[in-house]
Amino acid sequence: MLHTYPKRVVVIMLVLTAVVAVFPLWGPAVFGAQSDFLMEKLTLMLILALFAMSLDLLVGIVGLVSLGHALFFGLGAYTLALASPDFSPAAIWWMVPLVMLVSALAALVVGFLVIRTRGIFFIMTTLAFGQMLYYFVNTSRHTGGTDGVFIMFRPSVELGGAVLLDLDNPLTFFYLCLALVVVGYLFLRWLTRSFYGQVLDGIHDNEHRMEALGYATSHYKLVAFVISGVMASIAGMLAAMQYGFANPAQLGWHASGEVLMMLILGGMGTIFGPILGAFAYEILQHTFEHLTPHWPILMGLTIILAVLILPRGIAGLIIDPPSRARLAKSPLLRWLKPGQAAPTSEAVKPAASAPSREG
Amino acid sequence: MDLAFFGVQLLNGLQYGLLLFLIASGLTLIFGIMGIINLAHGAMYMIGAYLVYDLTFRLGNFWLAILVAIPVAVALGLLIERLFLDTLYKRDHLYQVLLTFGLILVLNEMQRIIWGGDVHSVPVPELFSGRIRLTDNLQYSHYRLFVMGVCLALAGVIYWVIRHTRLGIIIRAGAVNRDMVEGLGINVRTLFTLIFSVGVALTAFAGMIAAPLTSIAPGMGDSILITCFVVVVIGGIGSIKGAFWGAILIGMAETFGAVLIPSLASMVIYLIMAAVLLVKPRGLFA
Amino acid sequence: MSDIMLQTRGLTRRFGGLVAVNDVDFDVRENEIHAILGPNGAGKSTLINLLSGEFPPSEGEIRYRGRPIQGRKARHVARLGIGRSHQKTNIFPRLTCLQNCQLAARIHMGGVFGSWRSRHQAREVDERALQALETCRLVQRAHTPASAMSYGEQRQLQIAMVLATAPRLMLLDEPMAGMGREETAQVTELLKGLADRYTLVLIEHDMDSVFRLADRITVMVDGCVLETGPTAQIRASERVRDVYLGRHHEEAHP
Amino acid sequence: MKTTFKKTALASLIGAGLTLAGAATASDDPVKLGLMLPYTGTYTALGEAITNGLELAMSQHGNQLGGRDVEYVKLDSEANPSKAPQNMSRLVRGDNVDFVIGPVHSGVAMGMLRVAQQTGAVTIIPNAGLGAATNELCMPNVFRTSHSMWQDSYPMGKVAYDRGHRRVVTITWDYAGGKEDLAGFEQAFTEAGGEIIEQILVPFPGTEFQSYLAQIASLRPDAVYTFFAGGGGVSFVRDYAASGLKDSIPLLGSGFLTEGNLAAIGEAGEGVMTTLHYAETLDTPQNRAFVEAYRDAYGELPDAYAVQGYDTGMLLLQAMEAVGGDTGDKDRLIAALSNVQLDSPRGPLRFSGSHHPIQNIYLREIRNGRHEVQGIAFENLEVPDDACRM
C-alpha cells in the first residue's frame, strides 16, 4: 500500500536517528578535534533534510515539480535577518510565527498564481517567481543586496525571564534541528496517511479524474503548497540562524536545483528518502571537493547516474532491495503465490484490516 | 525621449530580441516536440561560443570556424540524446530537469578543463568590421546588422519548414499532442534524435554568431538560459511563432525597461511573464 | 413532465471550426437506462462531457431536475449527484481498490478542511465505499492496488467509484469497452441491477448489451440527434439501420 | 632549514603552553594555509591567479613559513555566498588551518567574515573589495592585501577633473561592489567640482549594453566612468568602442575593467584610462623581478590578482618569521602581521589600523595592449575607516 513501508525502513531510520542523536557522545572519540565541525555539518544536514522533506510534499506526493522552492527557504532566512533587532536577540515566540506568517502569505499568493499551471509550465512559473524574489533581494536597498546581511544574534528562547534554551550553544541548536526534523517527518507522515494525503495521492495519479469526481483539486494543491512553503521557510530560518548570515544566493534557482537533487538521491514521495538524500548529497559533495578540483564533474555524473539507474533513490533501495526485487519478479515466487498479479514486497504482505496504514 | 533616441533603442531591442529568438528557438523545439526541459541549453550556447573562439584561432577564419563547429554541435546533441535522454521520455519532467542540471555541471567543468577560466573574445570578421552612423556620436556595427539578418533569415527558414513541409506538420502536431505523432506512423525515436540535434545546433549556432558581439567567459550560458525560458513560456511552449514574438517582446522590454524604469530593470521580464501567465496560462501563442 | 431528470435544449459545442455537438435536444427520465448510440465521431463522448461539466457548451441549455447547470465546473456537477465514468480506464493506480472508492465517497465531506472531519462521518463514507465494492463484486480485492488488477476489474472499479459518490444520475462512457464476452455479460447484469435505484445514461457499442439494457435509446450522427425513442422503436427504425448497416457500419465496431 | 629554526620552534612550544592550540604549533607540524578561492565558475581565473602568486612567493622561500613546512588546503568557494560560512567553518574547524586566505567575491567575504568573527580565525582577504571588511566590520584577525572598491576609484575622480572633464556619466552593475566603486569616484570628482549627470545601474551580471550606450550618446557627457569586471568588462569596452563613442567621449574606469583581460579586449581597449594599485609595466626592480619570475613559473604575464596573491604570501612570510613560526599566540601573530611593511611589486605597502593596505594608486592607459603607467594618481592612499572599532 502507498506510504506503507517494510519494517526495515522504520528500523533503519530509527537506528540512523539514534546514531545522529548521540553523535555528541561518540563524535569526539572517533573524530577528535574535528568533531565540533562535524556536528556543525550534521546540523546543517538536518536543516537541509527539513528543506528537502518540505519539497517532497510538493514533488513526491502531489507531483508538482517546483524549481523555485528556494524562494521560501530564502524568505525564512531574510525574514529572520530583517526582523531581528540589531543589538539584541529577537524572541523566538514572535519570530517563528512571523516567519511562518510571511512565508504562508507568500506561498498563498505565489501558489494562487502557479497552481493554475501544469507540468512544464508549473516548473517554469515557480522558477520565475523564485528569480523574481532573487533579483528583488539582490537589488533592493533594504536587504543588503548581493553582499547579504548579518544576523548578529540568534533568537532567544525565554519564558518569563528564564532562558529555556540557549540556541548559541551548538549542542542545543543541534538538538533543536534534530527535533524539528523528527517533528517535521512525523507531521508529513501523518499528513500523507490522512484522508487529505489520500486526496493528494489521487491528484498525483490522476488530477483530471479527481476533478470529475467532484474535488476542487486546486484547493488541495494550494494547501499543500502553503504547508510546503512554510516548512521550507523554517528550514531557511534555521540556516540563517546557524551562521548568522543570509544571502540572495540562498534563493536562486541553483539552490532550488540542489534540493531537487537531494530528493532524487534520497527517493521522492517517501518523506524519509529526502532526509537520506540531504545527507547523501552533502557527504558526496564534501568528499568530491576533497578528491579533485574538478568535483562538479563527479557531482554531475552522480546525478545523471542516479536519474538513469536509480530513479527511486536510496529509499527505493531500502524498500525494494535489488535482490528481493529480482526475486519478487521471478517466476518462482509467482508460482509459489498464485493470485498475486504483481508480487512486490508490499503486495505480498497480507493486507491489514480496513485502511489502517501501519508500517 | 527624442525620436532618434527612440529609433536607436527600437533597433537595439529588435537586435537583442532576434538573437534571443535564435537561442530560444532550439529550446522551444525541444520543449514542444520532445517534452524535454533542457536546462543544459545555456551550456550549449556557451559551447558554441567557445568552439568558434577556439577554431577561429586555430583555423584563422571565423566563417570556416563556424562551418567546422556546426557539425561538432550536432554531434554533441546526438551524443547526449542517445546516451542520456533516450531512456527518459516516458518519465516525469523532474528527471529531465535533474539530468540536464547534472549535464550543466559536467559541461561547465569540461569547458574549464579544455579552455580554462579566462575571458576571451572573437574579433569581428573583416567583412563586417565597418560601422554605420546612427546619430552624430553613435555608430552601429555592420556585424550587428548582419546578425539581425541571419536571425531573420533563420526565422524565415524555420517558419517555412514548419508551415510547408511534412516535418513541419509533424512538429506542429507534436506541439499540440505528442501521442498524435506516434499515430502518424513516424519513427519517434529518429524524430527525437533529429529534433534534439537541430535544437542543440541552433543554440550553439546562436552562441557562434553572437561570439564576436560578446565576451566568452565561463558561466556565460547560465544567465541567458533563464531569459530563454521566459521567452519560451511567454510565447507558448513549442510554438516557434510564440518564441519569435516572445523574444521580440523580451528584447524590447529589456531595452526600454533599462532606460525607462531602471529600478525594475532586472525584474521586468519576470513581471511580464507573470502577467502573461495570469491572462493566458499557456502562453500567448499556445 | 415531472419525471424528467435531465434535459438539454439546443445544446451545441464547437471546437474551432468543427461542430462536435449540434443543437441537441435530449431528455433523460427518472430511473431509466438511456443509451446513446452512434458511429465514432458522432459526438457521443462530447455530449457526455458537456453534461458532466467537463467543458462548457458553446450554446444551449442543460437542466438537471429543473435547474440550469450549463457552464458549471465538473466538480460542482459531480457534487449535484451526476457521476460519470470515462471511456479510458480512469482510476488511481497506486491506491488500493478501497481507497479509490473512498476518494469517490468522500466528495461530500466538504473541501480541503473537510479532510479532517469527524470519525463518525468518515465511517459512514467508508461504508458507502465498501457497499459500492460489494455491488461491483470487488470486495475481495479491497486492499489490492488498482494497478495490480486485471483490466476487467479496473473497469468494474470505475463503476464502483461512480456508485460510491452516491449519484442520482450516472453517465457511463463505454463501460464495457475492451472487455471479453464473459466480462461484458457480467457488467451488463450489474448495470441491469442498478436500474431500479439509479438513472443511467450510457454510451455503448455492444448492440446486444444495449438492446438488452436500455429503456430508451438516442442515436446520434455527426453531432446531431438522428432519432430518439423506446428501444423497440429504435430497433425497428429504418433510418438507424441505414446508418449502422450503411456507410458507418465498419466504424461502429472498432 | 629545520634545524636552524628548532630553537625558536621549541621556544614557541613552551610559550604556547598546554592548550589545544599549542599542540598545533609543534615544530614538525606544517603551517596549514586554507585557500578559499573560486576554482570553478565565473571567477576561476582570479582564484587561479591568486593561488599562483601565493605559491610563487612560497616557493621562492623554500615553501616554509617561520621554519615550518607549508601545507595548502584548497577549497572551492564556488563564488557562492550562501555556502561561504560553512566552507569557512570547514577550513577553520574541520581542517584546523592556521590561516584562511580568501575570497574573491564580496558576498562570499561577508559570509566568511561572520565566521571569522565567531572563531577568531586569522583571515587574509586577497581580493574582495567590499569596504566594510576594513571599516564597519573590521576585526583584529582580518587583513586585506588587495584593495577596496573605493580605494581604486577615488583617485580617478581627481584625475578626471584635472583632465578637464566636468560632466560625467557613471555606469556599473547594480550590485554592492559596483556601487561602492562609483561612490569613490563620485566623492573625489564632485569634491573637485565636477558633476555626475547620470548614474546608470545595469542588472547584474548582464552584458547587454546597447541600450545604455545609446543613453550615454544622448546624454553627451565629457567622459564616462565605469566599473565592470571579467566578461562584463570585456564586453563593455568592446561595445563602447564599436559604438564609436570612444572617439568622442573618453572612457575612464576602475582598473578591474581591463585587468587580466587585455588580450580579450584587444584593440578596443586602446586609450582607455584606469586607476589601480598595480600595473604589470611598473618599472621598478621589484616588479621586473616579479614579472620575470611569474612568467618563468606560469608562462604568462601577472596581473593585479597575481600580485595580491604574491603579497599575501610575502605578508605571511614576514610575519611568521617575526613570530618564529608560532601560530599559537594569536595576539602576537596579529601584531606581527599588522607591522609588516612590504616592498611589493606594486610599490611600498603597509597596513592601516583597520588592516587595509596603504598603497599607491597608479593611473594607467592602455597602449599597444599593455597598461602603461601614466604616473601615480594617489600616493600612499589610505581608505576611510572611521566606523572601524578595534
**Amino acid, res. A181:** V
Locate the chain D residue with the closest alpha carbon to B53: D264
- pLDDT tens-digit readout, A10-64: 999 999 999 999 999 998 988 888 888 999 999 999 999 999 999 999 999 999 9
Instruction: Please compute the mean of the pLDDT values over residues A320-325 and round it to a whole number.
Output: 68
Chains near B, with 3+ CB pairs < 8 A?
A: A, D
Residues D180 and D216 in one domain: yes
Interface touch A65/B94, C-beta < 8 Å: yes
Among B135, B217, B262, select the one facing D201 at the smallest CB separation: B262
Residues D327 and D344 in one domain: yes
Cα separation, D80 vs C94, whole angstroms = 41
Interface touch D243/B124, C-beta < 8 Å: no
Average pLDDT of every residue of chain B: 89
Interface touch B139/D242, C-beta < 8 Å: yes
pLDDT at position A332 is 43
Higher pLDDT, D296 or D27: D296
User: What percent of chain D is predicted at pLDDT more than 70?
Assistant: 93
Kindly list the residues from chain A whose CB atom is less than 8 angstroms away from the CB atom of residue D84: 245, 247
CB pairs under 8 A between A and C: 108
Cα separation, C109 vs A213, whole angstroms = 13
Kindly list the residues from chain B whose CB atom is less than 8 angstroms away from the CB atom of residue A205: none
Please determine, for residue A239, whether its predicted confidence score (pLDDT) is greater than 90.
Answer: yes
Please determine, for residue B40, whether its predicted confidence score (pLDDT) is greater than 60.
Answer: yes
Q: Choose from B84, B90, B98 for mutation: most chain A CBs within 10 A.
A: B98
Instruction: Please compute the mean of the pLDDT values over residues D26-54 and round it to a whole number.
Output: 89
- pLDDT tens-digit readout, B168-219: 887 777 766 666 666 666 777 888 899 899 999 999 999 999 999 999 998 8
pLDDT at position C251 is 46
Kindly list the residues from chain D whose CB atom is less than 8 angstroms away from the CB atom of residue A142: none
User: Of the segments C102-106, C122-126, C247-251, which one has the largest average pLDDT value?
Assistant: C102-106
Instruction: Please compute the mean of the pLDDT values over residues A77-91 and round it to a whole number.
Output: 92
User: What percent of chain B is predicted at pLDDT more than 90?
Assistant: 57
- Measured between CB atoms, does B137 come within 8 Å of chain D? yes
CA distance, residue A216 to nearest chain C CA (Å): 6
DSSP A57: I
Instruction: Please compute the mean of the pLDDT values over residues D363-370 and round it to a whole number.
Output: 95
Please determine, for residue D55, whether its predicted confidence score (pLDDT) is greater than 80.
Answer: yes
- Measured between CB atoms, does A302 come within 8 Å of chain B? yes
Residues D368 and D247 in one domain: yes
Chains C+B touching (3+ CB pairs under 8 Å): no
What CATH architecture does domain A7-319 belong to?
Orthogonal Bundle (1.10)
Instruction: Please compute the mean of the pLDDT values over residues D205-234 and round it to a whole number.
Output: 93
CA–CA distances in Å: residue D22 to residues A87, B255, D141, D329:
34, 61, 18, 8
pLDDT at position C207 is 81
- Angle (nearest 5°) at CA D322 between D316 and D326: 80
- pLDDT tens-digit readout, A114-140: 898 888 889 888 988 998 899 899 888
Chains near C, with 3+ CB pairs < 8 A?
A: A
Nearest in space to C72 (alpha carbons), one of C89, C49, C88: C49
Please determine, for residue A326, whether its predicted confidence score (pLDDT) is greater than 50.
Answer: yes
Q: Please indicate, yes or no, if residue D328 is contained in any of the structural domains.
A: yes
- Measured between CB atoms, does A289 come within 8 Å of chain B? no
**Hey, what long-range contacts does A204-210 have (CB within 8 A, 24 or more apart)?**
A204/A61, A204/A62, A204/A63, A204/C94, A205/C92, A205/C93, A205/C94, A205/C95, A206/C90, A206/C91, A206/C92, A208/C90, A209/C86, A209/C90, A209/C91, A209/C92, A210/C103
Least confident interval from A150-164, B133-147, D246-260 = A150-164
Cα separation, D234 vs D62, whole angstroms = 38
CA distance, residue C71 to nearest chain A CA (Å): 14
Contact C53, C74 (CB under 8 A): yes
Interface touch D81/A148, C-beta < 8 Å: yes
Structural domains of chain D, count: 2
For residue A242, give the C-alpha cell. Answer: 546557524
Average pLDDT of every residue of chain C: 86
Q: Please indicate, yes or no, if residue C189 is contained in any of the structural domains.
A: no
Chains A+D touching (3+ CB pairs under 8 Å): yes
Contact C181, C202 (CB under 8 A): no
Q: Please indicate, yes or no, if residue D386 is contained in any of the structural domains.
A: no
A 67-126 residues with CB < 8 A to B: 67, 113, 116-117, 119-121, 123-125
Interface touch D211/B255, C-beta < 8 Å: yes
Q: How many CB atoms lie within 10 A of CB A339?
A: 7
Among A59, A128, A135, select the one facing B230 at the smallest CB separation: A128
pLDDT at position A233 is 97
Average pLDDT of every residue of chain D: 90
**Amino acid, res. C191:** L
Higher pLDDT, B237 or C171: C171
CA distance, residue C2 to nearest chain A CA (Å): 27
Interface touch D234/B258, C-beta < 8 Å: no
Q: Where residue A324 falls among pLDDT bands split at 50, 70, 90?
A: low
Domain residues of chain A, as ranges? 7-319
Kindly list the residues from chain D whose CB atom is less than 8 angstroms away from the CB atom of residue A37: 89-90, 93-94
pLDDT at position A351 is 34
Cα separation, A323 vs A325, whole angstroms = 5
Q: Please indicate, yes or no, if residue D245 is contained in any of the structural domains.
A: yes
Q: Where residue B277 falls among pLDDT bands split at 50, 70, 90?
A: confident
Residues D289 and D141 in one domain: yes
Interface touch A63/B92, C-beta < 8 Å: yes
Task: Please report where in the chains the cell 517517501 appears, as a residue.
Answer: A270
CA–CA distances in Å: residue C59 to residues C17, C55, C72:
15, 12, 14
Interface touch D42/B218, C-beta < 8 Å: yes
CA–CA distances in Å: residue B271 to residues A125, A133, B27:
11, 11, 21
Instruction: Please compute the mean of the pLDDT values over residues D329-333 and round it to a whole number.
Output: 94
- Measured between CB atoms, does C119 come within 8 Å of chain A? no
Instruction: Please compute the mean of the pLDDT values over residues D147-165 and round it to a whole number.
Output: 96
User: What percent of chain D is predicted at pLDDT more than 90?
Assistant: 83
Higher pLDDT, D79 or B144: B144
Among D201, D207, D242, select the one facing B141 at the smallest CB separation: D242
Residues D122 and D140 in one domain: yes
A 311-340 residues with CB < 8 A to C: 340
Please determine, for residue C142, whether its predicted confidence score (pLDDT) is greater than 80.
Answer: yes
Please determine, for residue D235, whether its predicted confidence score (pLDDT) is greater than 50.
Answer: yes
Instruction: Please compute the mean of the pLDDT values over residues C188-199 and round it to a whole number.
Output: 88
Kindly list the residues from chain B whose CB atom is less than 8 angstroms away from the CB atom of residue D205: 223
Cα separation, A263 vs A72, whole angstroms = 17
- Angle (nearest 5°) at CA D365 between D359 and D366: 125
Strand order in the sheet with D64-65: D64-65, D68-76, D31-37, D99-101, D122-125, D142-144
CA distance, residue D107 to nearest chain B CA (Å): 18
Q: Domain range for residue C52?
A: 1-81+202-254
Q: Please indicate, yes or no, if residue C59 is contained in any of the structural domains.
A: yes
Q: Please indicate, yes or no, if residue D390 is contained in any of the structural domains.
A: no
Q: What is the 3-state secondary structure (H, E, C) of C26-92?
A: EEEECCCEEEEECCCCCCHHHHHHHHCCCCCCCEEEEEECCEECCCCCHHHHHHHCEEEECCCCCCC
CA distance, residue B271 to nearest chain A CA (Å): 8
pLDDT at position A315 is 92
Average pLDDT of every residue of chain A: 87
Q: Where residue C248 falls among pLDDT bands split at 50, 70, 90?
A: very low
Q: Where residue B262 falls among pLDDT bands split at 50, 70, 90?
A: confident
Q: Domain range for residue D175?
A: 150-276+362-381
Structural domains of chain C, count: 1
Locate the chain A residue with the closest alpha carbon to B280: A117
Residues D369 and D246 in one domain: yes
Interface touch D40/B109, C-beta < 8 Å: yes
Interface touch A297/B106, C-beta < 8 Å: yes
**Amino acid, res. C120:** H
- pLDDT tens-digit readout, A146-202: 889 999 889 988 888 888 888 989 999 999 999 999 999 999 999 998 889 989 999
For strand D122-125 and strand D142-144, is the pairing parallel, antiparallel, or unpaired? parallel
Q: Please indicate, yes or no, if residue C134 is contained in any of the structural domains.
A: no
Higher pLDDT, A358 or D133: D133
Task: Please report where in the chains the cell 565540533 appears, as a residue.
Answer: A36
pLDDT at position D35 is 96
Q: Please indicate, yes or no, if residue C100 is contained in any of the structural domains.
A: no
Q: Where residue C206 falls among pLDDT bands split at 50, 70, 90?
A: confident
pLDDT at position A323 is 66
**Amino acid, res. C139:** V
CA–CA distances in Å: residue A290 to residues A287, C165, D85, D305:
5, 59, 17, 25
Global pTM? Answer: 0.89
The CATH code of the domain that includes C66 is 3.40.50.300
Kindly list the residues from chain B whose CB atom is less than 8 angstroms away from the CB atom of residue A285: none
- pLDDT tens-digit readout, B56-91: 999 999 999 999 999 999 999 999 999 888 888 878
CA distance, residue D86 to nearest chain A CA (Å): 8
